[in-house]
Structures are given as structure tokens and as C-alpha cells.
């Protein structure tokens, strides 16, 4: 299944939920009127006055002035108010069109401080998350609080008015925890953007506010954990009191281990500073209540069949399209580009007829993967459940903004196929929860050990789960006495995430879109149709079609990409071969470079080669070369869309 909405080319993610694209277009039209109208109106008034003065009397001029004032009011003041109103309505419509879970969020936007006070909570765990890891960590910290006699709540930064943060100091024993992932060029996640802007634009007086930050990143990126580092420092600058050192998780290594290790230090330091003690062993608390339904209880059209948000969106698509209501584009062409070998690279054309979606090269297409039907059946067989049973999972916490873990009511088969990810190695807290379902004591002891914070536990987890690439399905097969309740498993598994692909073709150059991917076994294998499941595996590199000055390199990079020549040629080779022309293109002709693909090797190699070119042909020192390259980036002449 492929979803589309318009998004900015230079962001690796969908636009912020609060700013769906069509809404932006409407608001943008009015904004332009706002910007232009005052000068235009003034100029017009001056010209009119100069021309008409000799022939018009004072009364005429007064009338003209009144008309001008009315025009000004109509085009500037009223329209900007209307624009704001349209924007408001549009946001509300988006909420209404979303799933029941999303609909309830409008009632949750009441201040988080008021919510904490009303429910007696002292800890708020904010998360800035794109693909769910930071959100999951926030949920775990919030749950931990019970063990210390505290009450916590996980909170989506996007749903909180951070102007309220200074008021946290008024709550006894209060603490703000931030779990923040970094993206792009060290940018915040979409849901943390407003919070980031708030900090940058001044923030507030955080005297008396206690805080701690756990940052999520990947060290292969240039701006490693930038968002967490920035927040940790900025909150201190604003007067906040850090209660524990910044934690940093590296997704390139074992982020689960980084988190578990930091969490232990964090709670130790909390115990010392707040004088609290763990009340006993960790307790397992369910977050969602199960209700099963008979088919006759629920009309068929009210049952989710895999929709991302809006029910029946498979049957009828309705604009405006955004992240919560993507346009589902049929695949028109799906052609394998490689001939022979073990690599697969597909040329995909999507049909966006009638969607009115505009795009640019570098914008993103989301591919919504679907789990393999045979694997879903296997889980059903292992857990001995009727996969066609209808059910709903409701959050036990009425204050939570998340009423259901995924769209409900639905069937177990749909939930396992479309909504949860069982093809990734599960985190330790999931293994811990499985322990109670083991009927064989040896399996229970094993799960106990592997999910413990001890050095043996961590090394066993690393070896058996991470290095062994054991998915939930593999674990259930390897430990046959472990038979968790399917609804509990669904609660514990992470949400299946959309995969984003950069569009490599420009509508100006080529009327089609391309999406590149390699088939990967497991989650995303199978024929590509309009519900295709593809997984992003790269690397590839391509100069942007719009960078005509580097057209030779571009043409060659296409050749490198398609690998049709006997020896493999990469863009790095071409940059080295044409080093002198590259320098001229950059320095004399003010050319642009765009790279897209692997961050770990390709992006670094390109950077190193550019450094050498600057040194060799520009006579710059290493520091000067670094500065020169940085300047290219800030001027938008060295664009990167990279990931690992």
C-alpha cells in the first residue's frame, strides 16, 4: 500500500501533523496577500493621489481614501482573519476524519499540567518520536514510576503546550523526562518541532523545574544525537535543574542496551535525590483492556480492515491528503532494473491521477508494509487463536491521548497483518512480559535472565536476540511452552511503520515518480501491487536531475546506479576522476551537489573526497576545507538526504 501527500523535499519525513500540505497551500495564498498588500496599497494610493490631485477636490480625495482603507481592510485584515479561520477549520476536519483514537485527541489537548494535577501525577515523560522507539521508551519510564509509588504519564510533545512547562515546579516531587530522537541534519522529529521552536525562540523561565533527557540517535550520522544534546543544554540555560546526566542511545549499536543501562542509573539517581525506594519487584501492568465482539454486534463498515487512520479509506479516498489520510496510489509500473546477480532494484511508477498532489524531486513516498500472511497464520497457530475474532483494545488510562494501540475494532488477523511489527528483535521489557506465559520452568528462567539488567542478561540478550536476529515469531517457535495471550502480544509489539522513499524524478524533467528499493525477505517480500510490501535497503546515490551543472556526473551516476557497465562505478569514483572540474563547478560556477543514500559510507566518502578536492585544487587547509563545505551546506548548495 502506498500513501502520498505533498511534503518538503529537504525533510526526510512527512510534514508536521498539524500542518497538512493542502492546508498550507490555502494558508500560503492568504499569507502572500498579507505580505504584498500593504506596500502595493500604499504605492497605488500614492500614484492615484499624484495623478488625481489636479482634477479632484478634497471631498473626492477623502472618498478615495475611504475606498482605499476599505480595500486594505478587505484584502489584508479580513482575509488574514479568514485564513486563520480556514486553517482552524481545516485542522478540525483533519481530526474528525482521523480514526476514533485520533478523534479523542482533541479533548486531550487540555494543558498537561492540569491533567497531572487532576490525576495526581508527578512525572511527565515527553517524547519526540518518528518511528516509535522514543515513544516506547517514554511509556516504559512512565510505567516504572508505579514501582516507586509515583504516578507518571507519557505525553506526545505535539499535544502539549510547552508554555506550561514552567508551572511544573508547582507540583510536588515533579519531574519532566524527555525522550528525543534526532533526524535529518540533526533536526527534531515532526512532533517535537514546535517544542524545538519554543526553546529556540526563548522558551520560558524554568527555575525549579527538574528535568532529564534521554536522546536517541545513530552515530553514523554527522549530527549524532543533536536534538537530545541541544535540549539538555537549553533546558539548563533556561534555569531548569538536571537530575541525571544526559542518556544517549545509538541505534547503530544496541539502543535497547543503552536505554536499559541509562534507565538504571537514572532511577538510582532519582532515589538519592527524591528519597524514594523501589516498592518491590517490577509489576506487570496491562495498558489496554480487551473486549471481544460477535460479528452481529458490529456493522461490517465499522470494522477496520487495515486502514492507516480513516475507516473505509480503501473504499473511498477523500482529500485533504496528509500523514493521517494519505492518498493511496496504485502502482502503474513495477520493473526490475538489475539483470542477474543477487541485487534487486525496482523502477516504480505511481498513479496520482485525480489526487491533485504536487511533488518535487526529493519529496517522499510512504510505503505501508503488510506482514506476510503465512507468518500471521503461523502466529495464530502457535498461540492457538481464532484469527478472525473481532476485538477492541481500550486504554485503561482515561487521561491518555491514545485510546487504542491501533485502529479498533478489528480482527486479530488484521492487527497482526497491518498494525504490529513482529519481524524485529523484541526489546527486553517484552521478553520480561512473556515470562509469565511460559509453562516450562526452564523457558521461564531463560526469559527472566535474558530480560534482566545484569551483565549476563545483557550479554545473553545481545547474543541471542540482537546478533541472532530473533524476531518475535522466531522466539515463539524456539520457546514452544511460551504462549502469550494474543491481545497482550498485540499490546506489546511496536506499531508497523511506513517506509519512506525519496522521489528521484522531478515532475519538471520527467512526468513520473521513481522509488528505489531492494526486496528483503521477511516483512517485505512479495510481488509489488497496490498493497505492496517493500523494505528500504540501499545504497545508491544519485545527483539531482535539477542540478544541471553536474549533469555529466548525474548521467554517469545513473550508469553507476544501474550498474550496466562491467566494472562498478560509483559517484565517489567519478568525483575523484573529475576532481578538477568538480572544484571549478563548485567554486567558479556556483554549482550544487545533492547526495542521497547511505549515510554510513557513501556520505562520509563524498565528504572526504570533497575535502581533498578543496585542499588540492583550492589550496585550502583541512580546517578551511571543512568551513568551505559547511558553507555550501548552509547555502543549500550541498544537499543531503541520507540514512543508515
Ligand X SMILES: Cc1cc2nc3c(=O)[nH]c(=O)nc-3n(C[C@H](O)[C@H](O)[C@H](O)COP(=O)(O)O)c2cc1C
For every residue of 6-68, DSSP letters joined together read: ---TT-SSPPPTTS-HHHHHHHHHHHHHHHHHHHHHHHHHHHHHHHHTTT--HHHHHHHHHHH
For every residue of 75-135, DSSP letters joined together read: IIIIHHHHHHHHHHHHHHHHHHHS-HHHHGGGGGGS-HHHHHHHHT--EEEEEE-SSSHHH
Residue 394's beta-bridge partner residues? 289
Query: Smallest distance, Å, CB 184 to ligand X?
Result: 6
Which of 105, 225, 355, 471 touches ligand X (CB under 6 A)? 225
Cα 373–Cα 423–Cα 141 angle in degrees, nearest 5: 130
Options 7, 21, 244, 596, the catalytic residue: 596
Q: Are 542 and 557 in contact (CB under 8 A)?
A: yes
* C-beta of 133 vs 305, nearer to ligand X: 133
Which of 100, 186, 204, 468 touches ligand X (CB under 6 A)? 186
Query: Smallest distance, Å, CB 192 to ligand X?
Result: 10
Task: Confirm whether 502 is a catalytic residue.
Answer: yes
Strands 210-217 and 327-328 turn out to be: unpaired
Q: Does 254 bind ligand X (CB under 6 A)?
A: no
Q: Does 15 bind ligand X (CB under 6 A)?
A: no
3-class SS shares of the chain: helix, strand, coil, % to 5: 45, 15, 40
Query: Smallest distance, Å, CB 219 to ligand X?
Result: 7
Options 129, 174, 502, 506, the catalytic residue: 502
Three-state helix/strand/coil letters over 378-426:
HHHHHHCCCCCCEEEEEECCCCCCCCCCCCCCEEHHHHHHHHECCCCCC
Query: Smallest distance, Å, CB 597 to ligand X?
Result: 11
Give the span between the Cα atoms of 392 and 390, in whole angstroms. 7
Options 187, 232, 372, 641, the catalytic residue: 641
Task: Confirm whether 145 is a catalytic residue.
Answer: no
The distance from CA 179 to its chain's CA centroid, rounded to whole angstroms, is 14
* C-beta of 150 vs 643, nearer to ligand X: 643
Sign (positive or negative) of CA dihedral 326, 330, 333, 339: positive
Selection from 489, 515, 494, 493 nearest residue 503 by Cα: 515
* C-beta of 129 vs 395, nearer to ligand X: 129
Residue 611 has what DSSP assignment?
Answer: H
Grid coordinates representing 377?
497464520
Selection from 524, 482, 480, 292 nearest residue 387 by Cα: 292
Q: Does 204 bind ligand X (CB under 6 A)?
A: no
* C-beta of 226 vs 610, nearer to ligand X: 226
Query: Smallest distance, Å, CB 126 to ligand X?
Result: 12
Interacting stretch for ligand X, rule CB under 6 A, among 180-188, 338-346, 444-452, 503-511? 180-188
Grid coordinates representing 430?
517484552
Q: Does 224 bind ligand X (CB under 6 A)?
A: yes
Q: Are 216 and 180 in contact (CB under 8 A)?
A: yes
Which of 2, 125, 134, 303 touches ligand X (CB under 6 A)? 134
Query: Smallest distance, Å, CB 139 to ligand X?
Result: 12
Q: Does 181 bind ligand X (CB under 6 A)?
A: yes
Options 5, 150, 262, 643, the catalytic residue: 643
* C-beta of 133 vs 410, nearer to ligand X: 133
CB atoms within 10 A of CB 511: 9
Residues 293-322 that bind ligand X (CB under 6 A): none
Q: Does 234 bind ligand X (CB under 6 A)?
A: no
Q: Does 216 bind ligand X (CB under 6 A)?
A: yes
Interacting stretch for ligand X, rule CB under 6 A, among 195-203, 223-231, 267-275, 603-611? 223-231
Give the span between the Cα atoms of 108 and 45, in whole angstroms. 49
Q: Which helix (H) or strand (E) holds 227?
A: helix 226-237
Give the span between the Cα atoms of 365 and 329, in whole angstroms. 10
Q: Are 422 and 522 in contact (CB under 8 A)?
A: no
Query: Smallest distance, Å, CB 67 to ligand X?
Result: 54
Q: Does 332 bind ligand X (CB under 6 A)?
A: no
* C-beta of 166 vs 228, nearer to ligand X: 228
Interacting stretch for ligand X, rule CB under 6 A, among 55-63, 217-225, 480-488, 525-533? 217-225
String of contacts with ligand X for each residue 465-504, x by CB under 6 A: ----------------------------------------
Query: Smallest distance, Å, CB 61 to ligand X?
Result: 60
Query: Smallest distance, Å, CB 248 to ligand X?
Result: 9
Q: Are 237 and 204 in contact (CB under 8 A)?
A: no
Q: Does 193 bind ligand X (CB under 6 A)?
A: no
Query: Smallest distance, Å, CB 593 to ligand X?
Result: 18
Q: Are 544 and 554 in contact (CB under 8 A)?
A: yes
Residues 401-420 that bind ligand X (CB under 6 A): none
Look-up: residue for cell 531548569?
Answer: 240
Task: Confirm whether 641 is a catalytic residue.
Answer: yes
Grid coordinates representing 191?
512532533
Task: Confirm whether 643 is a catalytic residue.
Answer: yes
Q: Does 217 bind ligand X (CB under 6 A)?
A: yes
Q: Does 643 bind ligand X (CB under 6 A)?
A: yes
Query: Smallest distance, Å, CB 187 to ligand X?
Result: 7
Q: Are 365 and 503 in contact (CB under 8 A)?
A: yes
* C-beta of 214 vs 412, nearer to ligand X: 214
Which of 11, 133, 191, 506 touches ligand X (CB under 6 A)? 133
Q: Which helix (H) or strand (E) holds 171?
A: none
Q: Does 251 bind ligand X (CB under 6 A)?
A: yes
Interacting stretch for ligand X, rule CB under 6 A, among 57-65, 220-228, 388-396, 537-545? 220-228
Interacting stretch for ligand X, rule CB under 6 A, among 75-83, 127-135, 292-300, 538-546? 127-135
Three-state helix/strand/coil letters over 444-466:
HHHHHHHCCCCHHHHHHHHHHHH
Contacts with ligand X by CB under 6 A: the residue count is 24
Grid coordinates representing 547?
542540478
Residue number of the CB closest to ligand X reads: 217
Query: Smallest distance, Å, CB 135 to ligand X?
Result: 6
* C-beta of 226 vs 383, nearer to ligand X: 226
Give the span between the Cα atoms of 322 and 270, in whole angstroms. 41
Q: Does 183 bind ligand X (CB under 6 A)?
A: yes
Which of 11, 90, 218, 471 touches ligand X (CB under 6 A)? 218
Which positions touch ligand X (CB under 6 A)?
Answer: 12, 129-134, 181-184, 186, 189, 216-218, 221, 223-226, 251, 255, 643
Q: Any idea which residues carry the catalytic annotation?
A: 502, 596, 641, 643
Amino acid at each position: 500500500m502506498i500513501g502520498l501527500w505533498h511534503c518538503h523535499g529537504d525533510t526526510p519525513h512527512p510534514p508536521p501533523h498539524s500542518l497538512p500540505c493542502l492546508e498550507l497551500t490555502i494558508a500560503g495564498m492568504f499569507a502572500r496577500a498579507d505580505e504584498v498588500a500593504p506596500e502595493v496599497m500604499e504605492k497605488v494610493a500614492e500614484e492615484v493621489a499624484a495623478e488625481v490631485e489636479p482634477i479632484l477636490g478634497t471631498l473626492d480625495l477623502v472618498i478615495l481614501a475611504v475606498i482605499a482603507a476599505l480595500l486594505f481592510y478587505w484584502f489584508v485584515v479580513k482575509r488574514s482573519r479568514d485564513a486563520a479561520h480556514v486553517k482552524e477549520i481545516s485542522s478540525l476536519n483533519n481530526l474528525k476524519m482521523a480514526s476514533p483514537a485520533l478523534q479523542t485527541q482533541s479533548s486531550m489537548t487540555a494543558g498537561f499540567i492540569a491533567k497531572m494535577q487532576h490525576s495526581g501525577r508527578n512525572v511527565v515523560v515527553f517524547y519526540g518520536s518518528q518511528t516509535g522507539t522514543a515513544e516506547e521508551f517514554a511509556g516504559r519510564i512512565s510505567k516504572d514510576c508505579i514501582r516507586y509509588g509515583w504516578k507518571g504519564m507519557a505525553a506526545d510533545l505535539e499535544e502539549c503546550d510547552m508554555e506550561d512547562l514552567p508551572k511544573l515546579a508547582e507540583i510536588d516531587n515533579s519531574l519532566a523526562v524527555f525522550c528525543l530522537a534526532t533526524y535529518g541534519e540533526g533536526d527534531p522529529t515532526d512532533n517535537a518541532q514546535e517544542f524545538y521552536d519554543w526553546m529556540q525562540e526563548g522558551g520560558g523561565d524554568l527555575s525549579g523545574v527538574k528535568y532529564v533527557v534521554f536522546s536517541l540517535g545513530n552515530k553514523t550520522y554527522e549530527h549524532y544525537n543533536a536534538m537530545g544534546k541541544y535540549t539538555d543544554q537549553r533546558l539548563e540555560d533556561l534555569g531548569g535543574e538536571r537530575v541525571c546526566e544526559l542518556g544517549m542511545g545509538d541505534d547503530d549499536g544496541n539502543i535497547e542496551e543503552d536505554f536499559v543501562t541509562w534507565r538504571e542509573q537514572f532511577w538510582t539517581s532519582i532515589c538519592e535525590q527524591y528519597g524514594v525506594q523501589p516498592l518491590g519487584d517490577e509489576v506487570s501492568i496491562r495498558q489496554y483492556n480487551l473486549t471481544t465482539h460477535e460479528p452481529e454486534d458490529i456493522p461490517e463498515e465499522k470494522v477496520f480492515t487495515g486502514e492507516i487512520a480513516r475507516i473505509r479509506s480503501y473504499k473511498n479516498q477523500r482529500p485533504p491528503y496528509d500523514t493521517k489520510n494519505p492518498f493511496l496510489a496504485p502502482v502503474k509500473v513495477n520493473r526490475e532494473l538489475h539483470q542477474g546477480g543477487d541485487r534487486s532494484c525496482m523502477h516504480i511508477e505511481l498513479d496520482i491521477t485525480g489526487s491533485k498532489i504536487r511533488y518535487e524531486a526529493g519529496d517522499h513516498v510512504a510505503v505501508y508494509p503488510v506482514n506476510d500472511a503465512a507468518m500471521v497464520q503461523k502466529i495464530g497457530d502457535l498461540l492457538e487463536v481464532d484469527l478472525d475474532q473481532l476485538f477492541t483494545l481500550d486504554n485503561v488510562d482515561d487521561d491518555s491521548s491514545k485510546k487504542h494501540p491501533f485502529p479498533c475494532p478489528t480482527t486479530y488477523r488484521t492487527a497482526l497483518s497491518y498494525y504490529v511489527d513482529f519481524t524485529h528483535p523484541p526489546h527486553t521489557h517484552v521478553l520480561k512480559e512473556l515470562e509469565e506465559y511460559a509453562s516450562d520452568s526452564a523457558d521461564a528462567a531463560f526469559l527472566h535472565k535474558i530480560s534482566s539488567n545484569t551483565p549476563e542478561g545483557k550479554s545473553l540478550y545481545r547474543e541471542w536476540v540482537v546478533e541472532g536476529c530473533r524476531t518475535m515469531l522466531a522466539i515463539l517457535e524456539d520457546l514452544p511452552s511460551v504462549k502469550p495471550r494474543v491481545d497482550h502480544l498485540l499490546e506489546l509489539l511496536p506499531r508497523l511503520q511506513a517506509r519512506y522513499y525519496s522521489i528521484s524524478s522531478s515532475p519538471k524533467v520527467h512526468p513520473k515518480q521513481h522509488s528505489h528499493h531492494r526486496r528483503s525477505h521477511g516483512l517485505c517480500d512479495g510481488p509489488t501491487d497496490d498493497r505492496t510490501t517493500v523494505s528500504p535497503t540501499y545504497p545508491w546515490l544519485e545527483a539531482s536531475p535539477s542540478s544541471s551543472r553536474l549533469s555529466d556526473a548525474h548521467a554517469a551516476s545513473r550508469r553507476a546506479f544501474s550498474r550496466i557497465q562491467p566494472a562498478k562505478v560509483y559517484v565517489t569514483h567519478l568525483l575523484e576522476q573529475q576532481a578538477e572540474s568538480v572544484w571549478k563547478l563548485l567554486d567558479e560556477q556556483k554549482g550544487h551537489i545533492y547526495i542521497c543514500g547511505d549515510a554510513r559510507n557513501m556520505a562520509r566518502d563524498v565528504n572526504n573526497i570533497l575535502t581533498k578536492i578543496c585542499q588540492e585544487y583550492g589550496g585550502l587547509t583541512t580546517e578551511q576545507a571543512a568551513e568551505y563545505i559547511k558553507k555550501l551546506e548552509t547555502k543549500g548548495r550541498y544537499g543531503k538526504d541520507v540514512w543508515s
